[in-house]
Amino acid sequence: MTDKLTQEHADESNMIKDPDRWTTGDQPMTGAQRSYLHTLAEEAGVEVQDDLTKAEASKKIDELQEKTGRGVD
């Protein structure tokens, strides 16, 4: 369970990092990223490369979520 002080400062933390700063960002995308990326690409009517890095896949997922309306609050 997270304490109240930690919750109050969650927006100030580095829990969400820029993919360009990930230490493992240059590794191949994960299976989960690949699956979700292809789902989004199909919905958006676009093709995606299958050899993206983790960081590249994350950015593409963000882009396609915006385009498809998925993941938008």
Residue 41's pLDDT is 97
Contacts of 19 (CB under 8 A, 6+ apart): 25, 54, 55, 56, 58, 59
* pTM beyond cutoff 0.85: no
Residue 11's pLDDT is 56
Task: Name 53's bridge partners.
Answer: 28
Which residue ranges in the chain fall short of pLDDT 70? 1-15, 73
How many other CB atoms sit within 10 Å of the CB of residue 34?
15
Residue 24's pLDDT is 85
Type of residue numbered 60: K
Residue 23's pLDDT is 87
Domain boundaries, the chain: 25-73
